[in-house]
Structure 1
Amino acid sequence: MKKTIIEFNNGDNIENFFLVKQASVRRSNNNKKYMDFTLMDKSGEINAKLWDITEKDELQYINNTLIKVRGSVSIWQGKLQLKINKIRLYIESDNIDIKDYVQTAPEESIDMFNCISSYIEKMKNQDIKKLTNRILSDNKDKLMFYPAATKNHHSIAGGLLYHTKTMLLLGEQVCNIYTFLNRDLLYAGVILHDMSKIQEIDATDLGVASEYTTEGQLLGHIIMGIKNIDRVAREEGIDAEISMLLQHMVLSHHYEPEFGSPKKPQIPEGEILHMLDIIDARMYDMNKALSNTKEMEFSEKIWSLDNRKIYKYTDGI
């Protein structure tokens, strides 16, 4: 049955192609080796298990390979899971395009990039404008395909651009209400806050991310981000206070030490940046969960929302 992941139901028998986003070898409670996969297509992701594996399986079914799978769908711990009964690698005669199996942002990357650039053009402070434009331009090539995460919100090709653009649109409306906010600082903070995820996350040119870089694991995008702002500010002769304020916004945007921010925001624009980030991430995850949920039913548990289930009310209310 050729269904996409978003169409899977408990009890379905499946035969289709999938992209391996993550693959690892694990052992069961009885010490039996198996392969644990995160499989994806253009509609979503699903966990899958392959039992009775061989050494050849371990070597060939790795991250970013395209595979054909036959298996059955069941529910495990409240989520759909695919048990693989038969598996093989993609071969040229299958005549399919790997790009058709990658989730992408709903807008063209160049259009999102140009929208973000338009907010820089609106900036009145020349130092903020110069610094933000330099960092955006330096990362343009990878921004065209980079995700904003390995999982959870905006973990799709072009996801980093999409996350940044939607936050800018939301931030602009907030500035229309709270007119004392410095638009230049807020726009720059939005554009820069996750920029170093490009160095934190290891992603293919298809925009598929399965792991973190060594520097990403040891430092994280927040520390990497403030180091980058400091470096560019020195190279461009940017005012020291402006550099400090932008570094503070990036440093504090996760709000809590356990989430990577040693300081909470101490300027209004930093507080708003954190709120915009939270709103956009949660709305993305809720919308994603509801797109896989039938009316008058609850979604699967959403890890990023403290394992809450989201209710999908009847369309038209």
Structure 2
Amino acid sequence: MNEEQLDLEAGLAAEAKAEPQTPSGPRRIAVRDLRPGLQVEDIYLLSAKETKVTKAGKPFYRLRLSDRTGSIDCTVWEIEAMSAEIKVGDLVTATARVTEYQGKMQLEATRVVPAPPNVAQPQDFLPSTYRDVEELKGFLRFHIDSVYDPDYRALLAKIFDDPGFMQAFVTAPAAKHNHHAYLGGLLEHTVAVADICEFVGQQYGRVDRDLLLTAALLHDVGKVEELSYETVIDFTDAGRFLGHVIQGVALVWAKAKELPSFPETKLHQLLHCLVSHHGELEWGSPKRPKTLEALILHHVDNLDAKVKGFLEIVEGSRGATWTDLRNLFRRPLHVPRALHQEEDFLPATDEDLET
């Protein structure tokens, strides 16, 4: 271990010792604050577990460990080092060393056992947006209130003024993996898509601005029912059978039918934006975009998903110049220079680190 790594470990240990003790123990080192060379013995949520075999025929475990600040791959080379009864969704105590492989950090664990009982709940370890949720809700409400068309405005109120739906919407992730796959991700993604659609719509004539903005706000509402997140982020049975595109269309259609005066032509144009927002049949869209608003929505949705996915990949390769090619884009990605500097990372807050 070099001098810099020793200093880092000493500093983190001193910081943890200085922290007030809580019922769940001293302050933790968040996943996003892990650095190569560190030794850790900490509690994580087991979000994925797979048994693999080396070229020599020896079995080992490939795990994914998570907390509220992110996730990290973990390899357990010795099968007996991990308790056999541990399953996905459990809290575990892992003793491991942080290493780096092909520009990506990972853990190599020598021991993985069930976490002590009553230390924390699994949902406390699910990754969560670092954005201020109340601020995001304010941005969402701003966009809703900016819709002038009385029919679209009434439909948005019918959906977003439902307290139960709104609570689920602001809590839900936007995906199981690849982009915005954390609590609050759906709200964050929706606000971003609405922001960008508002801007793009101003650049071109003949865009039905209220239709485009309403579609942006509603395009992913089906994810409230598609994804579950009690212990790990996964698909519900309905989500696997139908998918959020169909689930979202069904929800919006049903709410529109509760408004007897809602024009059928407007409803069809709005539903077309929702049903085509993935762009291509092979990407999960029953229809491809056939209106200007649907076309804009598709590309804006894809842009935000891809940019966020890119940032999440390169942030997981901090300190490297290139990522490996095992990612959403299936190619090495260049890590921006700013991510090489420690001070450019968002610091973990006390709330992030408490368990």
User: TM-score scaled by structure 2?
Assistant: 0.76
Superposition pairs for residues 62-101 of structure 1, below 5 Å?
Answer: 62-63=88-89, 65-74=90-99, 79-91=104-116, 101=125
Q: CA offsets per residue over residues 85-135 of structure 1, 9 Å max, x none?
A: 1123333686x7877744322323233223212212111211111112222
Distance 1:295 1:37 in 2: 23
Kindly indicate whether residue 239 of structure 2 is the aligned counterpart of residue 216 of structure 1.
yes
In the alignment, is residue 141 of structure 1 matched against residue 138 of structure 2?
A: no
Residue 61 of structure 1: how far off its partner (Å): 3.9
- 1:128 corresponds to 2:155: no
What does the per-residue CA deviation read over 1:32-52, in whole Å, with 9 as the maximum and x for residues that have no partner? 765442211233211223442
> In structure 2, what is the Cα distance between the partners aligned to 1:279 and 1:294?
23
Q: Could you tell me which of 183, 187, 203 is aligned with 1:161?
A: 187
Q: How does 1:150-229 map to 2 (within 5 A)?
A: 150-204=176-230, 209-229=232-252
Mapped partners of 1:296, 1:262: distance in 2: 40
Q: Verify the 8 A CA contact 2:69 2:128 in the aligned structure 1.
A: no
Asked if the contact 1:293/1:312 (under 8 Å) is kept, the reply is no
The AA in structure 2 aligned to 1:277 is D
Which ranges in structure 1 are unaligned for 5 or more consecutive residues?
A: none
The AA in structure 2 aligned to 1:258 is: E
Is residue 2:75 matched to residue 1:52?
Answer: no
Checking the alignment, whether the CA contact within 8 Å between 1:35 and 1:58 is kept in structure 2 is: no
SS at match of 1:304: coil
**For residues 261 and 47 of structure 1, what CA distance do their matches in structure 2 show?**
32
Tell me, which stretches of 5 or more residues in structure 2 are unaligned? 1-8, 13-28, 342-355
Q: Give the secondary structure class of the aligned counterpart of 1:59.
A: coil
For the residues of structure 1 that align with 2:47 and 2:234, how far apart are their CA atoms? 10
Cα 1:209–1:310 change in 2 (3 A) is farther
| 2:274 matches 1:247 | no
Alpha-carbon displacement from aligned partner over 1:1-41 (angstroms, at most 9, x marks no partner):
675433445555332222222345x3536887654422112
Instruction: Tell me if structure 2 keeps the 8 A contact 1:289–1:310.
Output: no
SS of corresponding position for 1:297: coil
Tell me how far apart the structure 1 counterparts of residues 310 and 58 of structure 2 sit (CA, whole Å). Answer: 36
- Asked if 1:236 corresponds to 2:221, the answer is no
Give the distance between the partners of 1:266 and 1:211, measured in 2 at CA. 32
Name the one with the larger strand percent.
1
Q: Which moved more, 1:109-118 or 1:291-300?
A: 291-300
Q: TM-score of the superposition, structure 1-length normalised?
A: 0.85
| In structure 1, C-alpha distance between the alignment counterparts of 2:217 and 2:80, rounded to whole Å | 45
